[in-house]
A = this chain, B = another copy of it.
Amino acid sequence: MSNIYIYSPASAVRDKAAFRRGVKRLKALGHEVEIDADALRAHMRFAGDDATRLAAIGRAAASGADVALISRGGYGLTRILPELPYKAITKAIEKGTRFVGLSDFTALQLALLAKTGATTWAGPALGEDFGTEAEPDEIMLACFGDLLDGSAEGSGWTLPLADAKAHATKPKRHVHEATLWGGNLSVLCSLVGTPYLPAVKGGVLFLEDVGEHPYRLERQLTQLLLAGVLDAQKAVLLGAFNRFKPVPGYDRGFSLKSVTDWLRSKTKTPIYTGLPFGHVPTKVLLPVGRTVDMVVEGRDALIFWGHEH
């Protein structure tokens, strides 16, 4: 089967049981798993100091593995963006290594896209997705399997009913040849104004976040709106925004829905929700930086990027 290299570019692994379960599961799926020497290192909140994590990323790029998979996200990549080994990662991708991850990993993915245009994969992390106490999600596993055997060609999902209504006037929408990009909203917003945000025009932008109250999400989406990022896209896809604490008696109707409604009133770019991606078990894999087509018809949405080349 495939060779998978596990490394820790961001936060320290605290749930070592989940880490071990994840490795075991990948092996049970028939994969060879190589664990980076510093995958379980810890320095403050980080999986080793900056130099340690930069070296780990370099080893992942040099591994020759089919997949370089992050142990977890957390926090740690934005502060080492200027020192990332962009050339080595890009070379590894050209040779066939797929870099997979999410959340804080968005920083590396977008910086790489900005610097070299190379494609990485927004997808699972070892601990949270493969190391679950329950069985890993079947759709996530199927998408991961498709990536490994080269048969991943696209991802589809059913729009929530409210969303299908929001676009009822457009029975069929076809987006041609758009750059798919995005990831974690907080991390993406922290790159605005820096050289590490790719200047994607006419793209399809996907976003997710975890543990952020809707007022924070709205402030961040407003930043993208006022910076002209949303208007410059052909479509915006909202994935999961979860694990935040509403403030009863304070929000009084202010919610994810009111945020989405407000945003739709401020940009002509269509905003679709329900993308199965984010800090949830059911997640598809999405090629960040790849040219995609997108079709929305009724409640069916499909992103298609064709065969890997």
Contact = CB atoms under 8 A, between A and B. Distances in A.
Contacts of A227: 193-194
Given A44-B251, A81-B226, A82-B226, A219 B190 contact: yes
Q: How many copies does the complex hold?
A: 2
Q: Which of A220, A222, A253 has the most C-beta atoms of chain B within 10 angstroms of its own C-beta?
A: A222
Given A44-B258, A45-B215, A218-B79, A223 B194 contact: yes
A78 B265 CA distance: 16
Contacts of A223: 78, 190-194
Interface string A175-208: 0000000000011011111111100000000000
A42 interface: yes
A243 interface: no
Contact of A14 (B193, B195, B250, B253): B250
A244 interface: no
B192 A222 contact: no
Contact of A219 (B78, B195, B197): B78
Interface in A241-266: 250-254, 258, 262
Given A44-B258, A81-B226, A226-B81, A193 B190 contact: no
A254 B45 contact: yes
Contact of A78 (B44, B46, B222): B222
A304 interface: no
Given A79-B219, A191-B226, A192-B192, 5 more contacts: A44-B252, A78-B222, A78-B223, A193-B223, A194-B227
